[in-house]
Chains A and B, each alone.
Chain A
Amino acid sequence: MTTELFTGAEMVVKSLSALNVKYIFGYPGGSVLDIYDAIFQQDEIEHILVRHEQAATHMADGYARATGEVGVVLATSGPGATNCVTGIATAYMDSIPMVVLSGQVATSLIGNDAFQETDIVGCTRPIIKHSFNCRSLADIPDAISKAFYIASTGRPGPVVVELPKDILVPQNKGTFSINTDVKMRSYNPNIKGHPKQIKKAVSTIKSAKRLVIYSGGGIVLSDASHLLTELVETLKAPITNTLMGLGGISGTHDNFIGMLGMHGSLEANKAMANADVILALGARFDDRVTNNVEKFCPNATIIHVDIDPTSISKTINAHIPVVGLVDVVIKQMLDELNSTGFTPDESVLAPWWQQINLWRNVKSFSYKQDKNEKIKPQRVVEAMYKITNGEAYMASDVGQHQMFAAQYYPFKKPRQWINSGGAGTMGFGLPAAMGVKLAFPDKHVICITGDGSIQMNIQELSTCMQYNLPVVIVALNNRSLGMVRQWQDMVYDGRHASSYMESLPDFTKLAESYGHVGIKIDTLSELDSKLEEAFSIKDRLVFVDVLVDEKEHVYPMHIRTGAIDDMWLSKGVKA
Chain B
Amino acid sequence: MRRILAILMENEPGSLSRIVGLFSQRAFNIESLTVAPTDDASLSRMTIATKGDDKVLEQIVKQVNKLIDVIKITDITDRKHLERELLLIKVAAMSDKSRTEVKRITDIFRGAIVDIGKQIYTIQLTGDADKINAFIETLKNETEIVESVRSGSVGIARGEKALRI
Contacts and interface: CB of A to CB of B under 8 A. Distances in A.
Nearest to B55: A313
Interface string A395-436: 000000000000000000000000000000000000000000
A563 to B, nearest CB: 21
Most buried by A among B55, B59, B66: B66
B98 interface: no
Interface in B51-81: 55, 58-59, 62-63, 65-66, 68-71
A129 interface: yes
A505 interface: no
Nearest to B72: A186
Interface stretch (B6-14, B104-112, B114-122): B6-14
A130 B17 contact: no
Given A133-B13, A314-B59, A187 B21 contact: no
Interface string B37-62: 00000000000000000010011001
Interface residues of B, number: 21
A310 interface: yes
Contacts of B68: 129-130, 150, 184, 186-187
A122 interface: yes
A98 to B, nearest CB: 15
Contacts, number: 36
Interface string A123-143: 001100111010000000000
Contacts of B10: 186
A310 B17 contact: no
Nearest to B25: A126
B162 interface: no
B149 interface: no
The size bracket of the interface on A is 10 to 19
Given A150-B68, A186-B71, A125 B17 contact: yes
A185 interface: yes
Contact of A310 (B13, B63, B69, B165): B63
A309 B66 contact: yes
A133 B14 contact: yes
Interface string A101-128: 0000000000000000000011001100
A77 B17 CA distance: 21
Given A150-B68, A186-B69, A186-B70, A121 B14 contact: yes
A388 to B, nearest CB: 40
A308 interface: yes
A451 to B, nearest CB: 34
A316 B165 CA distance: 33
Nearest to A127: B25
A125 B21 contact: yes
Contacts of A313: 55, 58
> Majority SS of interface residues in chain B?
helix
Contacts of A187: 68
B18 interface: yes
A126 B67 CA distance: 11
A133 B14 CA distance: 9
A24 B160 CA distance: 52
A47 B17 CA distance: 33
Contacts of A126: 21-22, 25
A164 to B, nearest CB: 13
Contacts of B59: 310, 314
A309 B14 contact: no
Contacts of A310: 59, 62-63, 66
Contacts of A314: 59
B44 to A, nearest CB: 11
A185 B71 contact: yes
A442 B10 CA distance: 47
A131 B62 CA distance: 19
A314 B21 CA distance: 19
A162 to B, nearest CB: 10
Contacts of A121: 14
A122 B17 contact: yes
Most buried by A among B58, B66, B68, B70: B68
Contacts of B25: 126
Contacts of B165: 185
Contacts of A129: 68
B66 A308 contact: yes
Contacts of A186: 9-10, 68-71
A185, A186, A309 pick with most chain B CB within 10 angstroms? A186
Contacts of B22: 126
Given A130-B68, A310-B59, A125 B13 contact: no
A131 B69 contact: no
Contacts of B63: 310
B141 to A, nearest CB: 45
Contacts of B17: 122, 125
Interface in A462-511: none
A368 B127 CA distance: 74
12 contacts: A126-B22, A130-B68, A131-B14, A133-B14, A150-B68, A186-B70, A308-B66, A309-B62, A309-B65, A309-B66, A310-B63, A313-B58
Interface of A: 121-122, 125-126, 129-131, 133, 150, 184-187, 308-310, 313-314
Interface of B: 9-10, 13-14, 17-18, 21-22, 25, 55, 58-59, 62-63, 65-66, 68-71, 165
Given A187-B68, A310-B59, 16 more contacts: A125-B17, A125-B18, A125-B21, A129-B68, A130-B68, A133-B14, A150-B68, A185-B165, A186-B68, A186-B69, A186-B70, A309-B62, A309-B66, A310-B63, A310-B66, A313-B58
